[in-house]
Structure 1
Amino acid sequence: MNKTNTGKLERLGIHTDMELVLHLPSRYEDETKLTSLAEAMFRRIGHIQTEGVITLSEIQYRPRRQLVVFLSDGANQLVLRFLHFYASQQKQLALGKRVRARGELRQGFNGMEMVHPVYKIVDENTPLPDALTPVYPTSEGVSQNFLRKAINEALERIDLSDTLPDALLNKLDLPGFEKSIRYLHNPPANADENALLDRTHPAWERMKFDELLAQQLSMRRAQIARRRQKSNVLKAPGSLTKAFIRSLPFTLTDEQEKVVAEIREDLVKAWPMQRLLQGDVGSGKTVVAAIAACQAIDNGFQVAMMAPTEILAEQHFQRLNEWMAPLGISVVWLNGSMKKKAKEEVLSLIGSGEAQFIVGTHALIQESVRFANLGLAIIDEQHRFGVGQRLVLRNKGGNAESIIPHQLMMSATPIPRTLAMTFYADLDVSVIAKLPPGRKPVVTRLIDQKRRDEVIERIHAATLGGRQVYWVCPLIEESEALQLQTAVETHAILTEALNELSVGLIHGRMKAAEKQAVMTDFLEKRIHVLVATTVIEVGVDVPNASLMIIEHAERFGLSQLHQLRGRVGRGSIDSVCLLMYQKPLGDTAKKRLMTMRETNDGFVISQRDLEIRGPGEFLGARQSGQAMLRFADLEKDVDLIGKAASLAEDLLNGKLPDSDTIMSKHLARWLDYREEYLNV
């Protein structure tokens, strides 16, 4: 890449000629046709390109300072109006200059006009372009002309030969790479603009397929590479595992049994398990993780479980300790707010190996934490952690022989199939799709904010029946302080309205001990109504809570609404979630609320969420390795994903002639140095 261009292009994340060539247009402008001024006067509206000679160019001050230019063909005139302009523009647009201007026609003070048109100075013989003009994604200080010139120069410097053989392209019904890339940068005047814009043109299909193939190859190679790493063989099942399963006050469901078997099979291998366990809220992921932990402890190894919040981490600790302590297992927990002496004691137990099961927050990955022999790392709500954080925990189990622990990641945010196929191609995925027997679906109702008094009466009725209630305050993205203020105000209002009841308050700015004290009071029924911010989104388990009110539900995303709703319905009693909304509702908010009312199925909800807002937030910190797909669309390109996955498998298994050469050339073109980001 030209060194003089480097600084500007790096602002766009472009470091190589190939990345420059793959910086594709977001849209096109048609500069191949001219509309005469006479026709423009007749049409009076629309986006056009026209040409004329400047007959007047002056700065006017009414109603504000502006540059006004009159363009004429002798019989008709058009006004060009610039509300923001530079002195150089005034010099450019001088009397007698011929100007080609492109913009939106509108009725102005002095007849038809364009405000801030795109223009250039021409002469009578300046030819029209014979291709559509590309418009590229850009940033401040990087002009379209600069990008067009840089990309065209790179197209001539770079090797555009195909990475895929002709026979394969014919089979896949895809055009050649060079033909496609040149077409997208310089489409002819008669190109199908709609097909270009919605990325259904064959040239776009080729780009999307290539991108998906590179991504599939990279992630599957990462999976193969991991199998060359060493991990401890955790034989199963041992006496502890059997005793633990016998001690459970319930029977595992068929789906839980199936997932336990999948994990058990992974743990007996000599390479590290890297499994993602998906299960809806309340599906029993924790007990499955506990069985996996028993297998590691049975073999003499430590287990670490990391959770994203102190409330969730402590709740895991309490439940696991309740299960494990009677079996003689030492369970400890570690968090960032522990006092120095208590923390030192826990660190000593971890370092000596006396602590067998360690539960904690991000505190587990601090430098001071030294495991004696970590055999299994469990990460709950894995999407809430960064790639680096997950790797630090995994690598803490490494030793001089480069033996690393097995890893089990858990998520209560189900991932749609197309997303899992694409972004988790390097992981083994287990799914618990059904809730255990006895769990009743939560009834969800929508209610206008104006009916708050009726909602408060509903709270009275629920508490008279011995039940408890959550009241979740609105998510205020702009300010955590505003959200806290809302929670405090709501707590005061409900305390006054429900003066015979105990109304509690919990929010993110409380100290860990204060939050835990409130949750303990709620769990032990000393608090009837708990006013909360989204700090209770994950992990809080109070079986007696059967009513949840989410205020201003239209401000929440679908997955967050689903997580919050999962805090009720955790026992066998009928539960209700009231989504209070304020009119008017936008289309997206309507879709979210209707989805919540229609289904309790987390996989259906996640699919709808993907349709509404795209894949970004499902990926968690995986996207901290850069956006993995720039061109392909996970909803529209399911067929391409399938074809790319199939070809990746064939290439990795050496089923095509020159498979290794094809793979190396393809990955070099599409990922270059970025491949490392995709594999963490």
Structure 2
Amino acid sequence: MPAAEEIDASPAIRSRLRKLGLERSSDLVLHLPLRYEDETRLTRIADAPVGVPVQVDARVLDVSITPAARRQLVARVSDANGDDSILFLRFLNFYGSQMRALAAARDQGLRLRIFGEIRSGFLGPEMVHPRYRVLADDEALPQSLTPVYPSTAGLSQSALRRLIARALKEADLADLFDDRWCQSHSLPSLATALALLHAPPPELTDSADSALQTRSHPAWRRIKFDELLAQQLSLRRAYLARRRKGAPELAPAGRLANALQAALPFALTAAQRRVADEIIADLEQPYPMQRLLQGDVGCGKTIVAALAACQAIEAGHQAAFMAPTEILAEQNHLKLRTWLAPLGIEVVCLSGGLSKGIRRAKQVQAATSAQLVVGTHALIQENIDFARLGLAIVDEQHRFGVVQRLELRRKGVNPHQLMMSATPIPRTLAMSYYADLDVSVIDELPPDRSPVRTRLFSDQRRDEVTAAVRAVAASGRQAYWVCPLIEESTKLELQAALDTHAALTVELAGLRIGLVHGRLRGDEKAAVMAAFVAGEVDVLVATTVIEVGVDVPNASLMVIEHAERFGLSQLHQLRGRVGRGAHDSVCVLLYQQPLSPTARARLKIIFENSDGFEIARQDLRLRGPGEFVGSRQSGAPLLRYADLEVDADLVELAQETAAKWLRDDPERAGHHLRRWLGNREELLKA
């Protein structure tokens, strides 16, 4: 297929096609239908079912414009087969040319071919805004289903069909797989698959759950495989390209890491030791590490990151630790400083909430003496320089965009990068969207973690919940009360937090009620959290700023108000704030009726599961990969056709094929990438 065949169309049409990502005529070939309409058969008006798309041939009896306040165009038609059955065509929005065309068809006795859904109207059976056209007398019915494509404003289906039909005739659809390979995997050739999907015979959609409609037909599976193969090739090429870059070899004797482990009041789990060894081996290489460290809430990722930082520091380099929120940055700073300061390591915290003078002083430290710099997005600002950055650690990496992670890496000369996530990624998603990363998994919780029981309470039982909070405080323990998530307005969310704090101050009179939210200054948030950690606050009312990183072992109760508004990942993260000590811990999900089917499904999943990987798998099933990953957070090309749950076998086959081609046949790999991605491959992982 030629590399850059411009679409033969007017500039206006090309502009609209670009909105759909269609730059080349070969892109049109891979622009596949959303659904199909059956225009291969005719239905008599008398036999047409209500509410089902049908096609009828009719003659216009009369046409008029209703004199009502909102004018409508109404045409009365009869079955062209001589049947006396009547159908009304109603157009709420119309042009004068439509009126004239329908009147001309009436006067000349021409037939109309009409497609739409019949419904019961005031005057009788009617179609509202049907698709219709005037027929030539000898016009035959089409032999294939009519495709309906994804489109955009100003680009009609008929125009798209013409462009795609022409592109199919002109395209080079030479298959990169031979017949033997196709037969062994029960897949058709690419040309066969595309021809069928753009113009399938009517018998393939005789039911709503047909293989064509559910995309389980072999033709669809061939397209899905080719799409997955392009994704795997692009990501693995990015992975191999990074390995050709030079990076500092961080291979010290391990004195600092050993001293840190010896000073810890706990022993590493077997999973933590295994993952730490994988990272140690990476950091000793002359090319930049690009590793994703994932594990469930509370599995101990931070200590593994601290050991990696020790390795970089002992080798004479700096480490940077970037967190998505000021609270998390401050929590990590306190924890890391507690572990590392006794070893003589200078740990600095740099966040946007600092005063100008303090921030400037810490910027100077980052550029000179600091060995570990912890911070928020402030780490990637233009005026922040590092003396010798060797390791960049990104906590909760899915909360950052590709560009932000790249900016942190640019603060050094190809530093090693460790990305961490407490949102476990299902295996097929990791294989597909993170194919250019090495992935480590901490799949074991520390033995002292107490299990958290999850309870569901209707908002009508709020009094029982506040009584439980009072009982927890009376026993000397603490509780969180998380306020409703109001995605459309941070101002309303702040007000909800203020209202909840005021209400609980009355309902729980005598208890010390704290409040933390995103609008507080950094030092104010730090002061509230310090008071909670010190046991000077019984109940902490909070927005989702405490979603990650907060570690208070004495807190044993979590109440999440309007839990139906939260996603599964957030609910699991919030629940993970308790159960960090030796006390029995409970997470109460307060919900308000009525629940939507999706909200009910989410609450059922979080109630029945404590394993973050299983929750993530169910979350993927509910939301789909694009939203789960976070739009363009991964940088990977989002999949149009493949379904990672349904097509897991194709993901594995694509991964194997990509590795083989890049090793043995890079020219064929390049051809496939040009076919699927054109010049868009640079948009992939940074």
1:127 to 140, 156, 160: 140
Question: Normalized against structure 2, the TM-score is what?
Answer: 0.95
The residue aligned with 1:661 is 667
Shift of 1:301: 0.5
Shift of 1:62: 4.7
Shift of 1:476: 1.4
Residues 12-411 of structure 1: matches in 2 within 5 Å? Answer: 12-40=20-48, 43=49, 46-62=52-68, 64-73=70-79, 74=82, 75-94=84-103, 95-96=106-107, 97-192=110-205, 194-352=210-368, 354-398=369-413, 404-411=414-421
The residue aligned with 1:401 is none
Shift of 1:87: 2.1
Summarize the Cα distance change of 1:444–1:44 in structure 2 as closer, same or farther, 3 Å threshold: closer
Residues 542-561 of structure 1: matches in 2 within 5 Å? Answer: 542-561=552-571
1:336 alignment partner, SS class: coil
Separation in 1, partners of 2:517, 2:440: 33
Query: What letter is aligned with 1:70?
Result: R
2:417 alignment partner, SS class: strand
Moved more, 280-289 or 240-249: 240-249
Residues 434 and 634 in structure 2, CA contact (< 8 A), matched pair in contact too: no
Residues 69 and 80 in structure 1, CA contact (< 8 A), matched pair in contact too: yes
Query: What letter is aligned with 1:23?
Result: H
Residues 268-299 of structure 1: CA deviation (Å, up to 9, x unaligned): 11111111000111110000000010001111
The answer on 1:577 being equivalent to 2:590 is: no
Residues 597-633 of structure 1: CA deviation (Å, up to 9, x unaligned): 1121100110111111111233236457474211100
Residues 431-446 of structure 1: matches in 2 within 5 Å? Answer: 431-446=441-456
Query: What letter is aligned with 1:347?
Result: Q
Separation in 2, partners of 1:561, 1:458: 20
Residues 534-549 of structure 1: matches in 2 within 5 Å? Answer: 534-549=544-559
Shift of 1:661: 2.7
Query: What letter is aligned with 2:100?
Result: K
Moved more, 152-161 or 298-307: 152-161
Residues 482-538 of structure 1: CA deviation (Å, up to 9, x unaligned): 111111111111111112111111111121111111111111121111111111111
2:118 alignment partner, SS class: strand
Residues 282 and 566 in structure 1, CA contact (< 8 A), matched pair in contact too: yes
Residues 634 and 685 in structure 2, CA contact (< 8 A), matched pair in contact too: no
Shift of 1:567: 0.9
The residue aligned with 1:454 is 464
Separation in 2, partners of 1:494, 1:123: 76
Query: What letter is aligned with 2:335?
Result: R
Summarize the Cα distance change of 1:621–1:513 in structure 2 as closer, same or farther, 3 Å threshold: farther
Shift of 1:679: 2.8
Separation in 2, partners of 1:413, 1:237: 33
Summarize the Cα distance change of 1:39–1:293 in structure 2 as closer, same or farther, 3 Å threshold: same
Separation in 1, partners of 2:529, 2:271: 31
Separation in 1, partners of 2:251, 2:295: 26
What is the root-mean-square deviation in Å for CA atoms of aligned residues? 1.5
Shift of 1:224: 1.4
Separation in 1, partners of 2:396, 2:253: 27
Shift of 1:337: 2.2
Separation in 1, partners of 2:591, 2:365: 50
Residues 29-54 of structure 1: CA deviation (Å, up to 9, x unaligned): 011111123433xx556321101111
Query: What letter is aligned with 2:125?
Result: M
Shift of 1:128: 1.3
1:9 to 17, 24, 34: 17
Residues 626 and 638 in structure 2, CA contact (< 8 A), matched pair in contact too: no
Residues 378 and 409 in structure 1, CA contact (< 8 A), matched pair in contact too: yes
Shift of 1:169: 2.1
Residues 427-464 of structure 1: CA deviation (Å, up to 9, x unaligned): 11111112101101110000010011111111110100
1:648 to 658, 662, 672: 658
2:202 alignment partner, SS class: coil
Separation in 1, partners of 2:152, 2:582: 55
2:490 to 460, 476, 480: 480
Separation in 2, partners of 1:482, 1:433: 38
Summarize the Cα distance change of 1:572–1:44 in structure 2 as closer, same or farther, 3 Å threshold: closer
Query: What letter is aligned with 1:190?
Result: E
Separation in 2, partners of 1:456, 1:84: 56
Residues 616 and 623 in structure 1, CA contact (< 8 A), matched pair in contact too: no
Separation in 2, partners of 1:48, 1:135: 15
The residue aligned with 1:679 is 685
2:17 alignment partner, SS class: helix
1:255 alignment partner, SS class: helix
Query: What letter is aligned with 1:76?
Result: S
Residues 366 and 386 in structure 2, CA contact (< 8 A), matched pair in contact too: yes
Question: Normalized against structure 1, the TM-score is what?
Answer: 0.96
Percent identical pairs in the alignment equals 56
Residues 383 and 618 in structure 1, CA contact (< 8 A), matched pair in contact too: no
Separation in 2, partners of 1:312, 1:563: 13
Separation in 2, partners of 1:87, 1:551: 56
Residues 354 and 522 in structure 2, CA contact (< 8 A), matched pair in contact too: no
1:602 to 596, 607, 612: 612
Residues 402 and 685 in structure 2, CA contact (< 8 A), matched pair in contact too: no
The residue aligned with 2:3 is none
The answer on 1:492 being equivalent to 2:502 is: yes
Query: What letter is aligned with 2:8?
Result: N
